[in-house]
Amino acid sequence: MSTQMDIHEILEYLPHRYPFLLIDRVLSCEPEKGIVALKNVSINEPFFTGHFPHHPVMPGVLIIEAMAQAAAILTFKTLGTKPDGNSVYYFAGIDGARFKKPVSAGDQLIFKVSVLRSMRGVWKFAAVAEVDGQVAAEAEVMCTIRNL
């Protein structure tokens, strides 16, 4: 079953808030398989004032963070639960990160994240970020839920 999510539902699955919430919409989510999410990149993003004032580019680490946020939604949907105040969803690793195309204001990032495996509470995902059908970044991200 593939489902869409608006920002109100996304806020139920991610603890992040402005300026660190990096997912605007989920276009499809199939538990145990994959998620397609998007971020509209606006010139009003706070990072553009310093990265770089003469040529605004979205920092690659934030693109990877957005991939992890999409992965978090997929994980919680797969587990049939929502995050609570007693746990945190952490990065456990990033492999093979590559940045192929700069992301600028006005771009719409499409994140395609699929489950590679889950073992002993650590999830591994293949993630791609695209702009206009072209790969902007890709990585394998590992994440885990830890109780506080």
pTM, to two decimals: 0.96
* Residue 40 lies inside a defined structural domain of this protein: yes
Total structural domains within the chain: 1
pLDDT of residue 147: 87
Question: In the chain, which stretches have pLDDT less than 70?
Answer: 1
pLDDT of residue 1: 60
pLDDT of residue 22: 98
* Residue 29 lies inside a defined structural domain of this protein: yes
* Residue 92 lies inside a defined structural domain of this protein: yes
The CATH number assigned to the domain holding 102 equals 3.10.129.10
* Residue 82 lies inside a defined structural domain of this protein: yes
Phi, psi values for residue 108, rounded to 5°: -115, 115
Catalytic residue among 8, 51, 54, 55: 51
Burial 16-54 (b: 16+ CB within 10 A, else e): beeeebbbbbbeebbbeebbbbbbebeeebeebeeeeee
* Residue 2 lies inside a defined structural domain of this protein: no
* Residue 1 lies inside a defined structural domain of this protein: no
pLDDT of residue 2: 74
pLDDT of residue 125: 98
Catalytic status, residue 51: yes
What is d(CA 40, CA 6) in angstroms, rounded to the nearest whole number? 13
Residue pLDDT, tens place only, 96-107: 999 999 999 999
Give the residue numbers spanning the domain of 129. 7-147
CB 109 within 8 A of CB 99: no
